[in-house]
Amino acid sequence: MPSALAPLDYYRATCSPDSYPTLDGARECAVCIIGAGFAGLGTAFALHERGVTDVVVLEAQHVGFGASGRNGGFVFGGFSLDERALLAQAGPDHARALYGLTVAAVDTIRERIARHGIACEAREAGVLLANWFDDDRVLDERHRFMAEHMGAQWQRISRAELSEMLLTTRYHGALLEPAAFHFHPLKYVQGLARVLSGHGVAIHEHSRAARVERAGDGWRIATARGQVRAREVVMCCGGYLGRLQRKLASCALPIATYVMTTEPLGERLGEAIRTHAAVYDTRFAFDYYRALPDTRLLWGGRIAVRDRDPAAVSRLLYCDMLKVYPQLAGVRVEHAWSGMMSYARHKMPQLGRLPDGMWYAMGFGGHGVGPTTLAGELLACAILGDPEGMRRFEQWGLPSTGGPAGKLAAQLVYWYHELRDLMRS
């Protein structure tokens, strides 16, 4: 049951992070990246792998501060835009190729973990899409569609098979994405930073970019105690961009999501969950959860336009958990948190270059681990003279999210789909 909560979220409470100095004074580099999350460090990593280490990364807080260090830890293919909409908008060949790039990005993450020995609790157990609705056609159609149009070989899990993995009457079969996995996202992003720092990439924490401006044929990025002069600048600020770049800020919708972890459950975990696979369900407003190595249950869900305090998050998600697993009544919630994600109106990543020459990567909310890694690869190639891959995302562009009205519209859309799912079930 919700009770006194730990002062830190679970990920920060279970890390011993390295620290990086605040920028103090002036320095020059080839590429300055603003934001030390998945997208920013992914770009730095892709540049490093291509021989470019003259890179400075500026982070306003600490490595992995935003959604990169607070998410559910699911590593799988796809975008926030669902695959049917992707097919309708991009056409069959382009949609299949884009989806394939995210699957390749999952393999890139897996390979980096192995090659650099990043200890991030990676669990190679797949991800289950559990059917909330008592209608087999939901899974049958999804299974067939993903195989025919995306080349995805998911496995059909029968109702009986699923009942042995998830001890609940809430679900009606599932699809297993076997090539997916899950991990401790903050340990992973900290691992990336450690490798980069060891190879000469300069990372500066607590070094908020206060001003970014053109300076001759390059850029000047000012912080409270220093400045960076760079030939190229890359903006990777996600849901915490603020007013740093007005054009980009007008095209990003910061949306909050909520996560909690229980106390260690020990053998009691087996009363509810008997699989190492991560789980989400077929509703628009779905739950997502996974068993952690220390037998805690991490549970996330809901979407809102504002943060909530940890106690409120704990109460909401505890009730959601008991709707699926009433046998867990009475377990304590030890950590709860919320954080802002960056969404685009079209729900696809926003990658590109502004007319003034600034590179950017944002809009990964809701499905960001693979696509942020993909973004880093494409940005690195573009910076080094090959923008072809990044052009695959041009059709979605930078539409305005509508400011406060856009936030209200997003909340209303969420409530509408939540009500529709409730009526359907």
* Domain made up of 10-424: CATH architecture: 3-Layer(bba) Sandwich (3.50)
How many CB atoms are closer than 10 A to CB 229? Answer: 16
What is the domain partition of the chain in residue ranges?
A: 10-424
pLDDT tens per residue, range 326-355: 999 999 999 999 988 888 889 999 999 999
pLDDT of residue 299: 98
Contact call for residues 111 and 122 (beta carbons, < 8 A): no
404 confidence band (pLDDT: 50, 70, 90): low
Instruction: Please list, in sequence order, all residues whose beta carbon lies within 8 angstroms of the beta carbon of residue 226, skipping any fewer than 6 positions away.
Output: 23, 24, 25, 26, 27, 207
Residue range 78-133, pLDDT digits in tens: 999 999 999 999 999 999 999 999 999 999 999 999 999 999 999 999 999 999 99
pLDDT band at 242 (very low <50, low <70, confident <90, very high): confident
Rounded Cα distance, 103 and 178, in Å: 12
Lowest model confidence (mean pLDDT) among 104-108, 162-166, 262-266, 361-365: 361-365
Distance of CA 418 to CAs 283, 302, 367, Å? 8, 9, 19
* DSSP SS3 for 184: coil
Determine the average pLDDT of the residues in 163-172: 98
From the list 55, 10, 66, 7, the residue with the least C-alpha distance to 30 is 55
Count Cβ atoms below 10 Å from residue 294 Cβ, excluding itself: 14
pLDDT at 12 over 70: yes
At residue 107, the pLDDT reads: 98
How does residue 417 score in pLDDT terms, banded at 50, 70 and 90?
Answer: low
User: What pLDDT does 409 receive?
Assistant: 59
Which residues fall within 8 angstroms of residue 136, CB to CB, at 6 or more apart? 172, 173
Burial 2-27 (b: 16+ CB within 10 A, else e): beebeeebbbbebbebeebebbeeee
Taking residues 53-67, report their average pLDDT. 96
Tell me which of 220-229, 324-333, 361-370, 401-410 is least confident. Answer: 401-410
* pLDDT for the residue 76: 97
pLDDT of residue 343: 85
Q: pLDDT band at 164, cuts 50/70/90?
A: very high
